Amino acid sequence: MDTIKTVKVVVVGESGAGKTALLTSFLENSFETDPLTTIGIDFKHKIVQLNDGQSIRLQLWDTAGQERFRQLTPAYIRSAKVALLVIDLSDDSCVENLVRWKGIVDKNKSDFTATIIVGNKCDLVNEKRSPRLINIIKETKDEYIETSAKTRKNIKELFSMVACRPFPEHKTSQIVLLNEPRPSESATRRCCQRW
């Protein structure tokens, strides 16, 4: 029996951006109009089947966006394969929030961490996005998708983007000794030996 590959996904963003609602929409096919605020970190997982028949376990780490819990977030970003950076498109400060959280993610992610920017609550805004937001998203060179946890728009597509991406194996390199070490003269003496 093959083992199921596990992929750690950390979900970050401002408080109220809809991180928990996004995960609830994906995991439970439901939407809560007034979800509880995440305190610290919440952990869930889901096994998804890929098109090639293989299964993958998504470990979903929902981080608190409140200022008082931000010091916890970097530790969870470090070992993640994917960071979902969620912004609230209906919030006028979403551009500043994107810049702030992008800095936190970039500072703490590993070389193997992919970042996907998620513009959530797209059901609450018109089709036109601010040129500044569009430019910042282009500058990041990260993938971008707009979602709505409420209407479930692009929820399946988002997590397909996560699950179907290539995940390089993080292997440690072996140490190769070019010369065999020789025991030193002092190493061959006993500690209490007298001359």
pTM: 0.79
| Distance from C-alpha of 52 to C-alpha of 9, rounded to nearest angstrom | 21
Q: Each residue of 47-90: pLDDT tens digit? A: 998 888 889 999 999 887 555 555 667 777 888 999 999 999 99
Q: Which domains, from first to last, does the chain contain?
A: 5-188 (3.40.50.300)
Q: In which residue are the tokens 């998203």 written?
A: 137
Residue 18: name the closest of 122, 107, 93, 108 by CA.
122
- The model's pLDDT over 112-130, given as tens digits with 9 standing for 90+, comes to 899 999 999 999 998 788 8
